[in-house]
Amino acid sequence: MVYLGVGLGGMLGSLLRYLVSLSTSNILNNGFPIGTLIANYAGSLFLGWFTARIIARSNLNPVLSATIGTGLTGSFTTFSTFSLETLVMLENGSVGLALLYVMLSAVGGLTLAASGYKLGAVSGREAGK
């Protein structure tokens, strides 16, 4: 049952990421992959919150936890696309843009995951009162 949940969550997460990429493709026309960055930021924030608030503080069904955490969020965010987009920018001579993307992705992703975790921990404590 876990495999089915992860697969269904993965299908939904991939579709959501594709929609984010489509809807943001016209924001920047300089080759910067803003859609992937937005998806990775949103996924980092959500997964931090979900881990601290839901998984760590409840008896969430393991199938649902894997469906949302691994399937949905794992496929919504994407390291492979980030890596390929960075490589393409480097191949096209956009070294500065590629370095900016790497820095924004790493620092922003970690910051948002930590922020989500803190928010989840705080909301979990407040809900437990």
For the chain, the three-class secondary structure string (H helix, E strand, C coil) is: CHHHHHHHHHHHHHHHHHHHHHHHCCCCCCCCCHHHHHHHHHHHHHHHHHHHHHHCCCCCCHHHHHHHHHHHHHHHCCHHHHHHHHHHHHHCCCHHHHHHHHHHHHHHHHHHHHHHHHHHHHHHHHHCC
* pLDDT tens digits for range 37-68: 999 999 999 999 999 998 877 888 999 999 99
Query: Does 5 show up as a binding residue in the annotation?
Result: no
* pLDDT tens digits for range 64-117: 999 999 999 999 999 999 999 999 999 999 999 999 999 999 999 999 999 999
Domain parsing of the chain, residue ranges? 2-25+33-123
* pLDDT tens digits for range 9-47: 999 999 999 999 999 988 877 889 999 999 999 999 999
CA angle centred on 114, ends 113 and 115, rounded to 5°: 90
Query: Does 111 show up as a binding residue in the annotation?
Result: no
Two structure tokens written together for 22: 């489509």
- Is the whole model's pTM more than 0.85, yes or no? yes
